[in-house]
Structure 1
């Protein structure tokens, strides 16, 4: 049997271990984020409420959206978290980045989400769905935020020093194909441009707006490639002969755009040496999941949990519709948008690359450390 001295030593050791663990947890929970702020530009993949109060069909502020999100239906086009929610967690933020429509006061110092469902690089993109905030509109909203930051911090130099440390995530282009180029009944772009020409036009406008962000303080920028639109349940239902084979003409056009976007990263890094631009290969990440869904826990990759079908038009989840129970096994939540399970994988690999092709020339984790 242990002596009294041994028992006392063991008790002291246990107490010391518990105190040490508590200190570790305290510092992990209360540690500052890796960057002071996170600014987000994009479309419905990352919209978290900017479309809620505008006259748009592209809205998700009703059940069953948000069924697995703590705050319920917020405007996120997911059953739960989006990709940028996951990245915000990994960057160490203790809350998700608020929507521009809802943010106020000193909150802007932590970052703002400007994303708008149906938005594109081109101003007319998504107009058949009603109001939306194009990339140009989102950049203008950011300029308003910069003015607020200057007012809060007291002068332009202090604001510039704050903003240069922030992460900027830009992810547009999907709707310029989904709700423009491949919608010939509404738009003329497919008759005006070849896929190569159209990608060039998009990249030129995209580049100009990104340079505007640079002119207003952005120095750490993440350019997100377009995912495999041709593999979405909507594209499969509308254009796939067997309902499972991805639509190659759509994916090929997306790849042209992505290749140009990756090249743009090189150009911007060369032209703007005091800034750092990176490219996230969403197309390749989705390819990995589609090629080997079981290894990621997915059993269904060609159908969402609600609102999927040939007759569904532009409406995805119907209000009050009961979604499937096995949501974590579905790559897609609705006809267009990934499930939380899918978003978490993309967010995790964007933050910390699991394959050399996930991010170029570095991942978000490395960008944050610069």
Structure 2
């Protein structure tokens, strides 16, 4: 279960006002699922949408953007730490000079596997995100000095995906055959094998500085606790996730050893959420009133009054306060390899 022991960490000094900041990297490319989605799902035919209140209640201007939280998500905070003047925009087919600063390709309900979340509706799974990325970087040739690959070498890449391959695939045995076909070890190996191919493709495009996020304790999500009829974290599900994370660490180590000039780092979200969340954070109740079918917030129903006291906005997604903690620690922690391995994001971009 998540514990509430406080960890003292150095808070990075950043240009959080988005004013007069020189970005520390030329661009920031983001891949993943609803934990990073800034609104890519808004126009898709899917249940996985968050472009309505109460989502965005604490976002600048108090508007819902498609982010599955009350305010910012982790990659938004990282963009601030990097000194970007604006949040990294979602992918659109026709883009101009904005692509020089990077694009966010993340899509709610997306997985490593194409079939993951098919019951939810349309989504941009990881290989489709890479196709959108290829469309994007094909436009950079006329915009940058030198080769596109040399430009991309200096950029930061964030990849946070895999949650849905469990909660919207393997952990749904009535809809997906995963538990009948694979042990938890075999399923984790299947995911990592596919993940390896996808990350290799990013490296081959010119990506060198990559932050790869592990999965959090999914068995502690209100959605997973409710489905299991439990009253606390479902440890069997957490154990399955830890198998995946262990294999992902090995994959990161292998890339760093084998690929020339590769600078990958693993962000241990499981440890960050398990060890550092603030004392008294409410874990077993969602901040918003949820729709039972989707576990997302009911539209226009006011959320809890103090979002800073809640770990979960809805049955699946964290509140802003959790994302800020994950972002801050991953960017600036000195506790290596506990929270990041082999380096934090600040060190990653300086290499």
- The alignment's TM-score, normalised by the length of structure 2, stands at 0.92
- Kindly report structure 1 stretches of 4+ aligned residues shifted beyond 3 Å: none
- Aligned partner of 1:20 in structure 2 is none
2:261 counterpart SS class: coil
Q: Shift of the alpha carbon at 1:269? A: 0.7
Residue of structure 1 in register with 2:350 after alignment: 369
Q: Is the 8 A contact 1:240 1:247 kept in 2?
A: no
Query: 1:127 and 2:118 equivalent?
Result: yes
User: 1:205 maps to which residue?
Assistant: 194
Equivalence for 1:334: 314
What is the aligned counterpart of 2:161 among 154, 167, 172?
172
1:314-370 residue CA offsets vs partner (Å, 9 max, x unmatched): 241011111000111111111111100111000101111153311000010000111
Q: The residue matched to 1:287 in structure 2 has which SS?
A: helix
- Matched position secondary structure for 1:153: coil
Q: Give the superposition deviation at 1:161.
A: 1.7
Deviation at 1:299, TM superposition (A): 3.2
Task: Give SS of 2:59's match.
Answer: coil
Tell me how far apart the structure 1 counterparts of residues 81 and 93 of structure 2 sit (CA, whole Å). Answer: 23
Q: Is 2:349 the partner of 1:360? A: no
**Cα distance between partner residues in 2 of 1:109 and 1:85:** 17
Q: Shift of the alpha carbon at 1:132?
A: 0.1
Cα distance in structure 2, aligned partners of 1:125 and 1:358: 28
SS at match of 2:86: coil
Give the superposed CA RMSD: 1.6
Residue 275 of structure 2 corresponds to residue 288 of structure 1: yes
Secondary structure in structure 1 of the residue aligned to 2:164: helix
For residues 85 and 250 of structure 1, the distance between their equivalents in structure 2, rounded to whole angstroms, comes to: 28
Aligned partners of 2:217 and 2:71: how far apart in 1?
21
Equivalent residue number for residue 105 of structure 1:
96
How do 1:227-246 and structure 2 match up within 5 A? 227-239=216-228, 241=230, 243=231, 245-246=232-233
- Does the residue aligned with 1:123 lie in a helix, a strand or coil? coil
Q: Which has the higher contact order (CA 8 A, sep 6+)?
A: 2
Does residue 302 in structure 1 map to residue 291 in structure 2? no
2:318 corresponds to 1:344: no
Q: Report the count of equivalent residues.
A: 333
CA shift in 2, pair 1:103/1:63, >3 Å: farther
Contact 1:331 1:342 in 2 (8 A): yes
> How far apart are the structure 2 equivalents of 1:142 and 1:266?
25
Secondary structure at 1:128 match in 2: coil
Matches within 5 A, 1:72-91: 72-91=63-82
CA contact (8 A) 1:307 1:315 kept: no
**In terms of mean alpha carbon deviation, does 314-323 or 106-115 score higher?**
314-323
- Label 1:102 to 1:299 Cα distance change in 2 as closer, same or farther (>3 A): farther
Report the alpha carbon displacement of residue 31 of structure 1 after superposing the two structures with TM: 3.4
Gap runs ≥5 in structure 2:
1-14
Q: Contact 1:166–1:220 (CA<8 Å) still a contact in 2?
A: yes
Establish whether residue 70 from structure 1 lines up as the match of residue 65 from structure 2. Answer: no
Contact 2:167 2:224 in 1 (8 A): no
Aligned twin of 1:159: 148
**1:188 matches 2:177:** yes
Instruction: Find 2:108's aligned residue among 117, 125, 128.
Output: 117
The correspondence of residues 140-159 of structure 1 with structure 2, limited to 5 A, is 140-153=131-144, 157-159=146-148
String of CA shifts for 1:301-326, please: whole Å, max 9, x gaps: 12221134xx7122410111110001
Unaligned runs of 5+ in 1: 1-24
Secondary structure of the structure 1 residue equivalent to 2:282: coil
Tell me the CA shift for residue 267 of structure 1: 0.5
| Cα offsets for 1:256-278 (capped at 9, x unmatched) | 00000000011101111211110
Larger Rg: 1
Over 3 Å counting, the alpha-carbon distance change for 1:343 and 1:34 in structure 2 is same
2:212 counterpart of 1:223: yes
